Amino acid sequence: MANRLECIDAATDYCPCYLAELNECIVCSQLQGKNFCDCNWRGVCIYQEFVWAGYKAKATRSTIFSKVLKKEKINKEVIILTLKVPNKMARELNEPGSFVFLRGISSPSFFDTPMSVMFADEMEGIIKIAIQVNGPKTKLIQQSQGEEEVYLRGPYWNGLLGHRYIKGTHNSKALVVLRGIAQAPGVIVISKLINNKNNVIAIIDKGKVGVNFIGDYIKDFDITTVDTDLLSEEGQRILKELIKDKGITLVYSGGSDEQHVNILNYLELYNKEAYLAVSNNNTICCGEGICGSCEVQIGDQKVRMCKVQVDIRKALERKMLNG
Ligand code: FES
């Protein structure tokens, strides 16, 4: 029997969505065309919300103009944008795994690029995004001169898998492992863990971008940071020793799938009880569960990774099997 899936948007302002209109809801069996109820109850009946909304998607994410307040060139590979957004959006984006779609105002809609949020200030109504310039879309954002605004669509939240573990870990000890551009979403993860009164150790590897660019954003947190090269013997030794600490109850891996698998292997060997949360590295295109570009096969189910929170171990097993 297929597992019940957990949608990141369930019970938010953006549920029910277009998928409900198409009888393709990820969670609600009624809105999958069945005539019985069978869902992961999250405190809200999606079917009832759909009926109340007049058999329509409740709210959709619109594209807004966002003013570029600052554009900092960190090195040849990385720029950090400070963007003005409505205060409500800044609040909604101050969550682990949050991301938005960005494009320059002179670019057509297929230039929309998903970008993780590194920092959000609700009072000021600003967000910060770190961009690794490595393709046509990001080059265009980097080269844009004097463009005072960008198109921005959001908020989205499925930039990481294992939300429940990050939100549910309190008064404990957590290890956060960040490499390359995946340092960026790690800042909000660390902030959330600190707010939950956890003792946090962060391993930071500058990776391919060649720079630790989050130092300023985490310097006020009471955490232990270790800078290392995770691909070196020394980096692996440090990682292994930290994972062996049974006091660690949660590990967050921000980096490549190979890094996730590396950490999972150490967890299986030395600390099976610890929870694992990881950055979601699947190809995101529409972000709405519509286009299918993020779809993966897990067991006997096809799963749209832009919306669904999956069992990380199962998702990584697939990667291990496929090499
Ligand atoms: S990105 Fe389009 S369905 Fe997930």
Residue 27 included in any domain = no
- Ligand 1: nearest atom to the Cα of 289: 3
The pLDDT, as a whole number, for residue 146 is 60
Would residue 291 count as lying in a domain? no
Side-chain half-sphere exposure of 169, counting CA atoms within 13 A: 28
Q: Which of 136, 156, 176 is the C-terminal boundary of a domain?
A: 156
| 194 and 259 fall within a common domain | yes
Tens digit of each residue's pLDDT (9 = 90 or more) over 22-39 = 999 999 999 998 888 888
Token look-up 């200030």 returns 121
**Which pLDDT belongs to residue 134?**
84
| Nearest CA among 321, 12, 303, 18 for reference residue 161 | 303
User: Which residues constitute the domain of residue 129?
Assistant: 63-156
**Cα of 311 from ligand 1 centre, angstroms:** 18
What's the pLDDT score for residue 147?
60
Residue 254 lies in a domain: yes
Q: What is residue 194's predicted lDDT score, i.e. its pLDDT?
A: 98
Q: Are residues 192 and 274 in the same domain?
A: yes
Lowest mean pLDDT across 116-120, 125-129, 136-140, 286-290: 136-140
Query: CA 158 to CA 303: how far, in whole Å?
Result: 13
DSSP conformation class of 208 = G
- CA-286 nearest atom, ligand 1: 2
The pLDDT value recorded for residue 321 is: 58
Cα–ligand 1 centroid distance for 286 (angstroms): 5
> Which CATH number do you get for residue 184?
3.40.50.720
Ligand 1 center to 298 CA (angstroms): 16
CA distance 180 to 257: 13
And the tokens for 207?
Answer: 């990776």
Residue 219 sits in the same domain as residue 136? no
Tell me the best of 157, 158, 304, 310 to mutate to test the pocket of ligand 1, counting ligand atoms within 8 Å of each CB and taking the most: 304
* Pairing verdict, β 173-179 and 248-254: parallel
CATH code where residue 130 lies: 2.40.30.10
Shared-domain flag, residues 150 and 210: no
Q: What is the average pLDDT score of the chain?
A: 92
For residue 307, which atom of ligand 1 is closest to its CA?
Answer: 4
Q: 163: which residues sit within 8 A by CB, 6+ positions away?
A: 8, 96, 97, 157, 277, 309
Mean pLDDT, residues 289-308: 92
Q: Is residue 118 part of a domain?
A: yes
pLDDT in tens, 123-163: 999 999 999 988 888 877 777 766 689 999 999 999 999 99
Residue 101 lies in a domain: yes
Range in 29-38, 206-215, 237-246, 264-273 with the lowest mean pLDDT: 29-38
| Atom 3 in ligand 1: residue holding the nearest Cα | 289
Asked, for residue 149, whether it belongs to a domain, the answer is: yes
Pocket-forming residues, ligand 1, beta carbon under 6 Å: 284-287, 289-294, 304, 306
208 shares a domain with 109: no
Instruction: Count the Cβ atoms, other than its own, within 10 Å of residue 320.
Output: 11
Does some domain include residue 322?
no
Ligand 1 pocket test: pick from 110, 157, 284 the residue with the most ligand atoms within 8 Å of its Cβ. Answer: 284
Pair (104, 120) in one structural domain: yes
Q: Ligand 1 centroid vs 292 CA: distance in angstroms? A: 5
244 lies in a domain? yes
256 with 178, same domain: the answer is yes
Ligand 1 atom closest to residue 287's alpha carbon, by position in its atom list: 1
Statement to judge: residues 175 and 268 lie in one domain: yes
275 Cα to the center of ligand 1, angstroms: 26
* Residue 307 alpha carbon to ligand 1 centre in Å: 8
DSSP bridge pairs for 301: 298
Q: Is the pLDDT of residue 231 over 80?
A: yes
Q: Which atom of ligand 1 is nearest to the CA of 290?
A: 3
With a CB cutoff of 8 Å and minimum separation 6, the contacts of 315 are: 161, 296, 298
Structure tokens at 21: 């209109």
Task: Give the pLDDT confidence score for residue 319 in this predicted structure.
Answer: 66
Tell me which of 280, 291, 309, 310 to substitute to probe ligand 1's pocket, judged by most ligand atoms within 8 Å of the beta carbon: 291
Distance 47 CA to ligand 1 centre (A): 22
Rounded Cα gap, residues 164 and 235, in angstroms:
28
- 78 and 148 inside one domain: yes
- CA–centroid distance, 287 to ligand 1, in Å, is 5
> Collapsing DSSP states into helix, strand and coil, what is residue 134?
coil
- How many Cα atoms within 13 Å fall on the side-chain side of residue 42? 18
Residues 123 and 207 in one domain: no
Query: Does 79 share its domain with 178?
Result: no
Boundary-marking domain end, from 156, 182, 214:
156
User: What distance in angstroms lies between residue 122's CA and the mean position of ligand 1's atoms?
Assistant: 28
Number of domains in the chain: 2
Same domain for 209 and 242, yes or no, is yes
- Substitution candidate for ligand 1 out of 26, 156, 283, 288 with most atoms within 8 A of CB: 288
CA of 315 from ligand 1 middle (Å) equals 17
